[in-house]
Amino acid sequence: GEDVEQSLFLSVREGDSSVINCTYTDSSSTYLYWYKQEPGAGLQLLTYIFSNMDMKQDQRLTVLLNKKDKHLSLRIADTQTGDSAIYFCAEIFYNQGGKLIFGQGTELSVKP
């Protein structure tokens, strides 16, 4: 089945690390993505991980993939107020063209 779940809210203090979690149900996905959406804007691709990888680091962002538990996480180090936004995880399937399946989004609030 196609289902991606995320917790809805996360609040952190500026300078702390943020960890946003996501679970997915279909193990045949090929890529897993993290997108950021600021108010009134489109989706910004933050990072992605191929399904045969366990971890990917990109500056302040670290993505961890646990295929056994179908769990994906995004860690943002040294979180800043500018990181406040909604974060979506999404998966895509090799045999379904460009169909992204999104989670509900996690609203990250960063307090100074």
Positions that interact with other proteins (CB under 8 A):
30-31, 33, 35, 41-45, 48, 88, 90, 92-94, 96-105
Q: How far is the CB of 19 from other proteins (least distance, A)?
A: 21
- Name the residue nearer to other proteins (CB basis): 32 or 79: 32
Q: What residues have CB less than 8 Å from 99, skipping those under 6 apart? A: 92, 93
Q: How far is the CB of 15 from other proteins (least distance, A)?
A: 29
Distances (CA, A) of 27 to 5, 15, 45, 67: 14, 34, 22, 7
Q: Residues, the chain, total? A: 112
Per the rule left: phi > 0, alpha: psi between -120 and 50, beta: everything else, 105 is left
- Name the residue nearer to other proteins (CB basis): 6 or 79: 6
What is d(CA 24, CA 41) in angstroms, rounded to the nearest whole number?
25
Q: How far is the CB of 44 from other proteins (least distance, A)?
A: 7
- Name the residue nearer to other proteins (CB basis): 79 or 103: 103
Q: How far is the CB of 112 from other proteins (least distance, A)?
A: 27
- Name the residue nearer to other proteins (CB basis): 17 or 27: 27
Strands 85-93 and 106-111: antiparallel
